[in-house]
């Protein structure tokens, strides 16, 4: 059977071959799917289809298109499932380090004002919605139910998208008391930026961060003595302000960004006690094989030379007759989203409503033999389906997330 993926369409040599492939897929999927009840985030029998794939894995990734209401319910259900089954330590998030730092303080204290403060600069982003905000409240409650030595810690490895949160972080971790004369001027500038005494534009952020980075290196002894254990964090956040500029002003947004995210992960991972990771990211980041022009985070984690090669499990979300929120700084838009490629007709036989999970890497799976791509966008070049992800979650008839008003 000859097939290839061209011009966004799964093409088979002739109609008979297409019928044979659909029949093969349907026969396989009949024995390898399960209905998932997202309202019951405390029961996991409906996720038991995954159990046999957990052994030997250390990073568990789910991938969404942002803005769909079912995403958050799946996110908390998977979080609780992977916690129970693997006792992962670290919540690996598509968030800057500065935000994750404050989220961990919120998870320790329950101080809702901390959560509100870090959300203010997120207006107009995909995170600016009630479902995402309430997710952290749910995590706080869940964490409180766990013994202290088993509580989940948030790890943010993205670039610093919101400079306000980055500068707030750098000011927050400054020690109380006198600032050494040698670095007083530079530290004062950070405070002035936050107080709006200095009006800093996008290009000026790069200029300031370059200057601060040089100062951190030229006066390393003074900064280390002053900042103590927070020297790495301080420098790390400033470095990711520089990464922000390269990503936003470069010629390959996704390629540059995922490379920076992966390097950030390595920098943080080596400083953490050994532990497993779970995270829900934008869909493309969880693909375990590179696309043309983009070597995704999941592909880097599973790539040659990575200590996590063969230890990553990816679950991709697709949508059928759903809605999503597209927020901007001035207005929110609700649109339809349909990313399940209905040309792969076999899936439709098993999708009624809600969420249905398909295991693609089972025995004699056609998805482990061929590149049968069930997603109508982000097309790969080669390999087989399970090179990219091992499970497919089909979400049907979901509303959009609830926007902040």
User: For residue 135, what pLDDT is reported?
Assistant: 98
pLDDT grade, residue 92 (50/70/90)?
A: very high
Using CA atoms, how far apart are residues 192 and 199, in angstroms rounded to an integer?
A: 9
Which ranges of 219-287 would DSSP assign to H, the alpha helix?
A: 220-227, 231-249, 253-269
User: Domain map of the chain by residue range?
Assistant: 3-88+276-396
User: For residue 198, what pLDDT is reported?
Assistant: 61
For residues 366-386, give the mean pLDDT: 93
Count other Cβ atoms within 10 Å, centred on residue 13.
11
Give per-residue pLDDT as tens, 240-257.
999 999 999 999 999 999
204-208, 238-242, 365-369 — which is least confidently predicted? 204-208
Task: Select the more confidently predicted residue: 167 or 329.
Answer: 167
Using CA atoms, how far apart are residues 404 and 190, in angstroms rounded to an integer?
A: 30
User: For residue 196, what pLDDT is reported?
Assistant: 73
Give per-residue pLDDT as tens, 286-329.
999 999 999 999 999 999 999 999 999 999 999 999 999 998 88
| 10 pLDDT higher than 90 | no
Q: Where are the beta strands (DSSP E) in 31-74?
A: 33-36, 59-64
Task: Select the more confidently predicted residue: 397 or 198.
Answer: 397
Give per-residue pLDDT as tens, 170-182.
999 999 999 999 9
| 208 pLDDT higher than 50 | yes
CATH topology of domain 3-88+276-396: EreA/ChaN-like  fold (3.40.1660)
| DSSP label of 365 | -
pLDDT grade, residue 193 (50/70/90)?
A: confident
Using CA atoms, how far apart are residues 163 and 355, in angstroms rounded to an integer?
A: 37
Helices (H) and strands (E) in the chain, counts: 13, 12
Using CA atoms, how far apart are residues 366 and 25, in angstroms rounded to an integer?
A: 6
Give per-residue pLDDT as tens, 210-230.
999 999 999 999 999 999 999
* DSSP output for 370-391: S----BSSS---SS-HHHH-SE
Q: What is the mean pLDDT of the chain?
A: 92
Using CA atoms, how far apart are residues 61 and 287, in angstroms rounded to an integer?
A: 9
For residues 273-280, give the mean pLDDT: 98
| 3 pLDDT higher than 60 | no
39-43, 141-145, 306-310, 396-400 — which is least confidently predicted? 39-43
Using CA atoms, how far apart are residues 111 and 140, in angstroms rounded to an integer?
A: 10
């Amino acid at each position: 059977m000859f097939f290839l993926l061209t011009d966004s369409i799964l093409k088979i040599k002739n109609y008979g071959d297409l019928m044979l492939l659909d029949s093969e897929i349907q026969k396989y999927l009949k024995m390898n799917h399960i209905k998932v009840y997202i309202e019951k985030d405390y029961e996991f029998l409906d996720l038991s289809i995954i159990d046999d794939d957990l052994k030997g894995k250390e990073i568990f990734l789910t991938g969404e298109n942002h803005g769909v209401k079912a995403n958050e319910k799946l996110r908390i259900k998977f979080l609780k499932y992977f916690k129970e089954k693997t006792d992962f330590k670290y919540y690996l998030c598509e968030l800057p380090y500065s935000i994750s730092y404050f989220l961990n303080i919120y998870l320790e204290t329950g101080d809702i004002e901390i959560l509100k403060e870090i959300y203010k600069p997120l207006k107009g982003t995909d995170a600016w919605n009630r479902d995402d905000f309430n997710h952290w409240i749910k995590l706080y409650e869940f964490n409180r139910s766990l013994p202290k030595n088993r509580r989940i810690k948030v790890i943010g490895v993205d670039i610093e998208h919101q400079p306000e949160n980055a500068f707030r972080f750098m000011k927050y971790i400054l020690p109380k008391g006198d600032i050494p004369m040698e670095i007083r001027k530079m530290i004062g500038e950070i405070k002035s930026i936050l107080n709006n005494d200095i009006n800093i534009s996008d290009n000026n952020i790069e200029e300031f961060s370059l200057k601060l980075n040089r100062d951190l290196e030229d006066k390393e002894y003074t900064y280390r003595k002053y900042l103590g254990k927070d020297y790495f964090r301080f420098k790390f956040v400033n470095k990711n302000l520089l990464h922000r500029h390269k990503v936003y002003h470069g010629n390959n947004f996704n390629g540059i960004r995922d490379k920076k995210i992966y390097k950030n992960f390595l920098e943080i991972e080596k400083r953490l006690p050994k532990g497993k990771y779970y995270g829900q990211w934008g869909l493309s980041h969880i693909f375990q094989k590179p696309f043309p022009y983009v070597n995704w985070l999941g592909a880097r984690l599973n790539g040659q030379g990575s200590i996590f090669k063969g230890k990553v499990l990816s679950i991709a979300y697709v949508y059928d007759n759903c809605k999503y929120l597209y927020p901007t700084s001035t207005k929110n838009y609700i649109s339809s989203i349909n990313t399940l490629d209905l040309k792969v007709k076999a899936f439709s036989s098993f999708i009624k409503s809600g969420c249905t999970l398909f295991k693609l890497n089972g025995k004699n799976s056609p998805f482990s033999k061929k590149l049968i791509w069930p997603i109508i966008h982000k097309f790969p070049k080669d390999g087989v389906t399970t090179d990219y992800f091992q499970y497919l979650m089909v979400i049907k008839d979901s509303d959009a997330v609830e926007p902040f008003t």
